[in-house]
Structure 1
Amino acid sequence: MKTFFEILTAATEAERMQLYSVPQITDARHGNITRDSYLAYLEQAYHHVKHTVPLMMAAGSRLPESKEYLREALVEYAEEEVGHQEWILNDIKHAGGNAEQVRRGEPNAATELMIAYAYDYVSRINPVGFFGMVFVLEGTSIQLATSVADSLQTALGLPENCFSYLASHGSLDLEHMKFFENLVNQIDDPDDQQAIIHVARRIFILFARVFESIPHKETLKHVV
C-alpha cells in the first residue's frame, strides 16, 4: 500500500516537470544565466521567503485542537525558517545588488499572486493545504539549490558569500523533507490529503510563473 507521501509525489508529477522545464531553471542548472538574472531571482526569492513564517503562523492559528501535532510541526518549521529572508538580502549585497532597494520594493505580479493564493487557501478553505506549498518549495530546493549554487558560482565568478541562501538550503531541506514525509504520512483525513495535493499542484504552476517572470536571455528570443 502506498504512503500518502508517495501518492502526493505521483499526483504532482506533471506540474513538477512543468516547473523544472522553465528556461530560467534549466539554464541555471548549467550556470548559463547572467549576474543580473541571478540578482532578479534573489529579489523574488526575498519577496516570497519573507512570507514563509507568517504563512506558517496563519496556518497554525487556524488548525483545530484535533490537529495539534500539525501545529507543533509548523512551530518547529518556523523556528528553523525565521530570518532566512535576511540571508537573501546579504547574498544580494555581496553580489553587487541593492539589498535595501529590494527590501523596500514590491514583488513581480507572479510572486505576489503565488503568496496571495497561499494566504487565501489557508484562511478560506483548509489550513492543512499549506503543507502542499511546503512540499513544493522544499522539494524544489533539494533538487536544485546546491547544484545550482555550485554551477552559478563557477560561471559567474562570485564568492561563496553570494550563495549562502541557495547553498545552505539544498542540504538543509533534505532533513526537512524527511521530517515532512513522516509528518504527512500521519495525515489520514481524505479532505486534508486532497487539500495538500491541490495546493501542491497549484503552487508548482504558480512557482513556474515566478521563475518565468525573471528577466533572462532565453526570454528575449521570444520577444516580437
Structure 2
Amino acid sequence: MTPYQTLQQQTAEQRQWLLDTPVIRRALAGDIDRATYQAFLTQAYHHVKYTVPLMMACGAHLPERLEWLRGALVEYIEEEYGHQAWILDDIRALGGDAEAVAAGRPAPATELMVSYVRDVIEHGNPIGFFGMVQVLEGTSTAIATQAAEKMRDGAGLPADAFRYLESHGALDIGHLAFFEEQINRIESAQDLQAVIDTANMVYRLYGAMFRTLGQAADDAHTSEVLADALV
C-alpha cells in the first residue's frame, strides 16, 4: 500500500462524517438558499485567507531532509495566492457586504481549524500541514463544481457568484494529483502519521464548520429583517 493509499484508508471515517453533513447533501441537490451559501462563503474567506500564510510557515519550519517538499510548497503558494479575493467578489455578487465579512470574525470551528494547523506547524511536525491540504483539496474535488452547478440552477443564485467554487473544483483535480505524488515520497512513518492525524482533526473541524452554517444563515436573515425594520 502506498503512503497516499494509507492516508486515504486511515482518514476514510472522518472524511465520510464530513461528506454526510446535511448542508453538503443539500448543496449537492441544489437545495441551498442565498443566506446559507453566503454563510459558507463567509467561513471560506476566513480560512482561505490563511492558506498562503500557513504554507509559508510550513515551508519555514520544514527540516532540511524535507527540502523537496519545500519546493512543492513554492508551487502551491503561486497557485493559491489571492483566492480569498475571489470569495469576496462572490459575496458581492450575492448582494452581501464583503467588507463586513472581511472585518468580521469566523465561527469557532473555522477559527479552531486554522489555529490547530498553525500549532501543528509551529509546535509539532510541520509536515502535518498537508493533512489540511488533504481535506480542503479533496473535498473541493469531490463536491465543488457539482455543488456550484446544482445551487446555481436549483436555487436560482447569480451565475457570477460561483467563481471560487467553480475554479476550485477543476483546479483542485490537478492539485490533488500533485499532492498524491508528494505524499508518496514520504519515507518516515512518523511524518505520514502527522499528516494522517492532522487530516482527521481537520475533517472534524471542517465538518463542524459546515454544521454551523444553518444557524449562521438564520442569524444573517434575522439581522437583515431588523435592519429593514429600522429603515
Alignment of 1:49-198 (within 5 A): 49-198=48-197
Aligned-pair identity in percent equals 49
The size of the alignment, in residue pairs, is 218
Q: Deviations over 1:73-114 (max 9, x none)?
A: 111101100000000000000011110100111101111011
The alignment's TM-score, normalised by the length of structure 1, stands at: 0.95
Q: Distance in 2 between matches of 1:12 and 1:59?
A: 21
Matched residue of 1:33: which SS? coil
Q: Distance in 1 between matches of 2:34 and 2:154?
A: 9
Which residue of structure 2 lines up, in the alignment, with residue 26 of structure 1?
25
Matched residue of 1:157: which SS? coil
Q: Distance in 1 between matches of 2:46 and 2:183?
A: 27
Which residue of structure 1 lines up, in the alignment, with residue 229 of structure 2?
none
Offset at 1:216?
Answer: 5.8
Q: Distance in 2 between matches of 1:128 and 1:154?
A: 40
Give the AA of the match of 1:69: W
Which residue of structure 1 lines up, in the alignment, with residue 228 of structure 2?
none
The alignment's TM-score, normalised by the length of structure 2, stands at: 0.92
Q: Distance in 2 between matches of 1:133 and 1:160?
A: 29
| Contact persistence 1:149–1:167 (CA under 8 A) | yes
Residue 63 (structure 2) pairs with residue 41 (structure 1): no
Once structures 1 and 2 are overlaid, which stretch shifts more, 41-50 or 149-158? 149-158
Give the AA of the match of 1:51: Y
Q: Distance in 1 between matches of 2:132 and 2:102?
A: 23
Q: Distance in 2 between matches of 1:182 and 1:59?
A: 18
Once structures 1 and 2 are overlaid, which stretch shifts more, 207-216 or 107-116? 207-216
Q: Distance in 2 between matches of 1:9 and 1:216?
A: 31
Offset at 1:149?
Answer: 0.1
Q: Distance in 1 between matches of 2:171 and 2:113?
A: 23
Give the AA of the match of 1:125: G
Give the AA of the match of 1:174: I
Offset at 1:156?
Answer: 2.3
| Contact persistence 1:48–1:115 (CA under 8 A) | yes
Q: Which runs of 4+ in 1 moved over 4 A?
A: none
Give the AA of the match of 1:210: M
Give the AA of the match of 1:146: T
| Contact persistence 1:84–1:165 (CA under 8 A) | yes
